[in-house]
Amino acid sequence: MNADDTERIEGNRPARDGGTQYGHGPKNHQALLGPILLGGLIAGTIDIGAAALINAVNPQVILKAIAGGILGKASFEQGIRAETLGLFLQWGMSLLIAAIFVIIASRVNILRRQWVAAGLAYGVGIFFVMNYVVVPLSAIGHAFHFTTARFMENLLAMLLFGLIIAFFARSAPQSARPLTAPIS
């Protein structure tokens, strides 16, 4: 048995793109990068604008509030440095959130086929994780106390965030290793 026979048996025959015929190669990973970057950066940027509208403040105040996750209340006393930190933190979190969804969606086809429902559900999850896990663990140190109206406005913003990410995840290539439940 030679190397070609072993690869055929294991199902990992080399493909023309340098990966395998089943989508494990470099081009498959590069194809995930587009939806992650577009979804993460667009959703993250729109989220800054949505937060500014909801709170009736300048986007710079929102960026300082984001930087407050690391700097605490001191972020509001700093200028462009805090705003820049806030922007990079927002984009970093947005890219991470997008990467999680895009990678899972590449393995769970229904998330790409039913992208609207999946995006809305993901938005709800993002809302609760950010507001009741991430923010309380940050230098801000407490969850926000929302009025019903503010709760709904912020939830709607996260629904939009999830929809944007799911929209771009539709184009993610299907992974060769789908996530499936084990059969008993």
Question: Model confidence over 80-96: pLDDT tens digits?
Answer: 999 999 999 999 999 99
Contact 112, 105 (CB under 8 A): yes
Quickly count: other Cβ atoms within 10 Å of residue 155's Cβ. 17
Measured N-to-C along each axis, helices 148-169 and 80-105 cross at an angle, to the nearest 10 degrees, of 60
In tens, the pLDDT along 98-117 reads 999 999 999 999 999 999 99
Contact 98, 165 (CB under 8 A): yes
Give the Cα separation of 114 and 123 in Å (integer): 14
- What's the distance, CA 56 to chain centroid? 25
Task: Tell me the average pLDDT across 36-41.
Answer: 97
**pLDDT at residue number 173:** 84
**pLDDT at residue number 13:** 44
Report which DSSP code applies to 23: S
Helix residue ranges per DSSP H, 109-147: 109-113, 115-129, 135-137
**pLDDT at residue number 63:** 97
In tens, the pLDDT along 144-179 reads 778 999 999 999 999 999 999 999 999 888 876 666
**pLDDT at residue number 77:** 93
Decide if pLDDT at 20 tops 50.
Answer: no
**pLDDT at residue number 52:** 97
